[in-house]
Amino acid sequence: MGRKFFVGGNWKCNGTTEEVKKIVTTLNEAKVPGEDVVEVVVSPPFVFLPFVKSLLRPDFHVSAQNCWVRKGGAYTGEVSAEMLVNLGIPWVIIGHSERRQLLNESNEFVGDKVAYALQQGLKVIACIGETLEQREAGTTTAVVAEQTKAIAAKISNWDNVVLAYEPVWAIGTGKVATPAQAQEVHADLRKWVHDNVSAEVAASVRIIYGGSVNGGNCKELAAQPDVDGFLVGGASLKAEFVDIINAATVKKN
Ligand SMILES: O=C(CO)COP(=O)(O)O
């Protein structure tokens, strides 16, 4: 097994220079387990990436929230994977549901982006998850399998991929998935990877949960065998993000 706990903070489209400094100061002063126990990655908006990278403690890492699907060029408003590599940004979030829903990113487009970012040497947090309608229609397993399949079809090496299961109905709603609901989907996903990619990748790929994770609910979620960490939105802008990082210690007990 040996899947290292992963905690990502997705700041989304939030923050001023002052706020960013304050969050980074909190993180820099935080007492958390070492990098051997938990991998911590924060994802500010593009414009703050170099600033955050320069201020952030060296055992925490930074991620972009998106990148362009192929080599840069005449794509106004986009940021390419090559640029992120050039700036020493190691991670990128791809396929967040806000982009799938608001910007119509399709499964295929997300798969292409993941493949291109990996080829350029980035590590990828690939997001998947069902809407409330899909859950209520009983299609959760099929939906997340389809999303994962579109990624699997485009890549051959999963070493640098973290899969983030983020049910859309739980994002920013305060309506967190129960530990049992999260575990069920994570186990299904791991089985899908086992059957469609390989047993090795299924055993090693980290599947993290996102959707209204906070300081109060993180430990119970972390205790689930197939929950390998979190992608945190709102709470990653607050001091309680430190408590969420510390939920990693649940895995050692
Ligand atoms: O979308 C998320 C992380 O990517 C989750 O957001 P919240 O934690 O605010 O629900």
Q: Per-residue pLDDT tens for 19-61?
A: 999 999 999 999 999 999 999 999 999 999 999 999 999 999 9
Q: Which residue has the tokens 């205790």?
A: 223
pLDDT at 176 over 60: yes
Residue 178: pLDDT band with limits 50, 70, 90: very high
Give 32: exposed, middle or buried? Use CB within 10 Å, 0-12, 13-18, 19+.
Answer: buried
Mutation test residue for ligand 1: of 99, 165, 166, the one with most atoms within 8 Å of CB: 166
Domain count, the chain: 1
Mean per-residue pLDDT, 10-25: 98
Task: Report whether pLDDT(196) > 60.
Answer: yes
Kindly report the average pLDDT of the chain as a whole number: 97
At 234, which CATH number? 3.20.20.70
> Is the Cβ atom of 44 under 6 angstroms away from ligand 1?
no
Q: What is the pLDDT of residues 101-141, one digit of tens each?
A: 999 999 999 999 999 999 999 999 999 999 999 999 999 99
Considering just the CA atoms, what is the radius of gyration of the chain in Å? 17
Comparing C-alpha atoms, which of 133, 144, 128, 223 is closest to residue 191?
Answer: 144
pLDDT at 2 over 90: no
Collect all residues with Cβ–Cβ distance below 8 Å to 146 and sequence separation of at least 6: 107
Q: Which residue's CA lies nearest to atom 3 of ligand 1?
A: 233
Q: Is the CB of 79 under 6 A from ligand 1?
A: no
- Is 167 a pocket residue for ligand 1 (Cβ < 6 Å)? no
Residue 253 banded pLDDT, cuts 50, 70, 90: low
- Among 96, 105, 130, 186, the active-site one is 96
Whether ligand 1 lies within 6 angstroms of the CB of 234 is answered as: yes
- Residue with CA closest to ligand 1 atom 6: 233
Please tell me whether residue 109 adopts helix, strand or coil conformation: helix
CA-nearest residue, atom 7 of ligand 1: 233
Does the pLDDT at position 252 exceed 80? Answer: no
Tell the burial category of 215 from Cβ atoms under 10 Å away from its Cβ (0-12, 13-18, 19+): middle
Pocket flag, ligand 1, residue 10 (CB < 6 Å): yes
Distance 77 CA to ligand 1 centre (A): 24
Confidence bin at 201 (pLDDT 50/70/90) = very high
Residue 29 belongs to domain spanning: 3-249
Q: What pLDDT digit, counting tens, does each position of 56-95 carry?
A: 999 999 999 999 999 999 999 999 999 999 999 999 999 9
**What distance in angstroms lies between residue 208's CA and the mean position of ligand 1's atoms?**
12
Q: What is the pLDDT of residue 1?
A: 53
**Helix and strand totals (H; E) in the chain:** 11, 8
Catalytic annotation present for 166: yes
pLDDT for res 126: 99
